Amino acid sequence: MATTPSLEYIEKTTKQSVDASVIWLHGLGADGSDFVPIVDELPLGGSLGVRFIFPHAPVRQVTVNGGMPMRAWYDIIGLGEGGIEEDTSGLAEALSHIVELIGGEKERGIPAERIVLAGFSQGAATALYAGLQLEQAPAGIIALSGWLPAATEIKPLSGLDDLPIFMAHGNQDPVVPLRLGLDSSRRLTDAGFRVDWHEYTLEHGVCMAEIEQVGKWLKSLLG
């Protein structure tokens, strides 16, 4: 019997028979429903069977938002010129949730090399952090309008150096400045990762051109 994850999630498949999964993490203050509509917009083609998992982050107080309770993968303590100050214990908790979700997909017959981690904003940061801490590398990581948390340990694991990473960012983003995305991309590239970087003329969000590029990248990765 498959283990029941501690986080509730929304599930959407592109076909009745699937052989790959995408675990998609929402941004701060949103929930799993935020990116469900994107599945129908991705140009994956009719032959690719993918299960999309959209989990709901736990509700917690977020320091940078005046302690207001909201769905968040971990607490963000502060924002400044030096970057984003994050709760490292919360990051570790988020990692445990991702490991649990991946374990659930493995129990349903999807191997790690067919599981993609994706996310937007704080969800993108969480996907990058988790993807680089896993004992077994995922198929790839999609990070939209996000950043690489400072606490991320970039370590040589089996197959990790070949881990494909798709990163995209709006060049007018007032929430997560483009600089944070670019710095994260450079840090990963300097460490030897294959980063596919894209910039779009938009603020803190996604656009159709970006969605189409994500779909093409996923199709190339999983097709």
Active centre residues (catalytic): 121, 173, 204
Give the separation between CA 122 and CA 62, rounded to whole angstroms: 12
**Looking at this protein, which amino acid is placed at residue 131?**
G
- Helix/strand/coil for 154: coil
Task: Give me the residue label for tokens 């299960």.
Answer: 51
Q: Count the Cβ atoms, other than its own, within 10 Å of residue 36.
A: 16
Longest C-alpha distance within the chain, in Å? Answer: 49
Give the separation between CA 188 and CA 143, rounded to whole angstroms: 12
β-pair partners for 197 = 167
Give the separation between CA 81 and CA 1, rounded to whole angstroms: 49
